[in-house]
Amino acid sequence: MTHHELVKYSRGARWFHWTITIAALVLAVTGLFLYVPAFSSIAEGGITRVIHRVAAVIFVAAPLLFFLAKPGRSLHFVKEIFTWGKDDLAWLKAAPDYYFGGDEKKMPPQGDMNTGQKLWAVVAFFSALGFVFTGIFMWFLKDTLPAEVFDWMVIVHDLCFIVGGAMLLVHLYLGAIHPRMTESLKSMIKGKVSAEYAQSHHGKWYKEITAGEGDAKGTPGGQGEKQAH
């Protein structure tokens, strides 16, 4: 039997992804209003700061709650994004040509997360840690920190925004717009990808899942179910 569609992400994984995404976008927009002088008039009245802090609480709470609900999958995800091999290095070498129309056959086989997704996840992971660490100091210790220390916290916070924001734009383009990644966004909305897309973009994962030897758990909450439609 041919499996026309495969379950890539569980409902929980998709809820987690979109909760974090929306919180991050709200933080980015309100952060610009708070710290860029050109937008300072928009932030008058304090509502922007309140929205920023509410989004920050959601940004921190979501992964903690997901970890408590799915500790095994969460730890697997962290392990996977920091596990790199020869196929990841080959992917980095071949990706520029591929994304500008090069031969798809030159791309090495990938697992349930490709190397680009791993790279984005690593940057997002450390950027989030930087945001949370500096944000706590800026929120709760603003009046007690020495001015020099507070200024450094702001600088690190801003650097995390620049690096994380730049990678987020790349992630959004490749995940939602690039013509060769058409099912990436669909998979995060409906949870499924076609067998053809899985074979071409996640060859290792496809072999595992269709052989029944593993499950798609690289992304928090991912499922390894096989479905035919």
Domains and CATH numbers, the chain: 5-214 (1.20.950.20)
Q: What is the pTM of this model?
A: 0.85
Residue type, 117: Q
Angle at 194 between CA 188 and CA 195, to 5 degrees: 130
Helix (H, G, I), strand (E, B) or coil at 129: helix
- Whether the predicted pLDDT of 197 surpasses 60: yes
Residue with tokens 């001015």: 147
| pLDDT tens for each residue of 18-76 | 999 999 999 999 998 888 777 777 777 788 999 999 999 999 999 999 999 999 999 99
Alpha-carbon distance of 166 to 159, in angstroms, equals 11
Q: Give the count of beta carbons closer than 10 Å to the beta carbon of residue 14.
A: 19
Confidence of residue 212 (pLDDT cuts 50, 70, 90): low
- Whether the predicted pLDDT of 216 surpasses 60: no
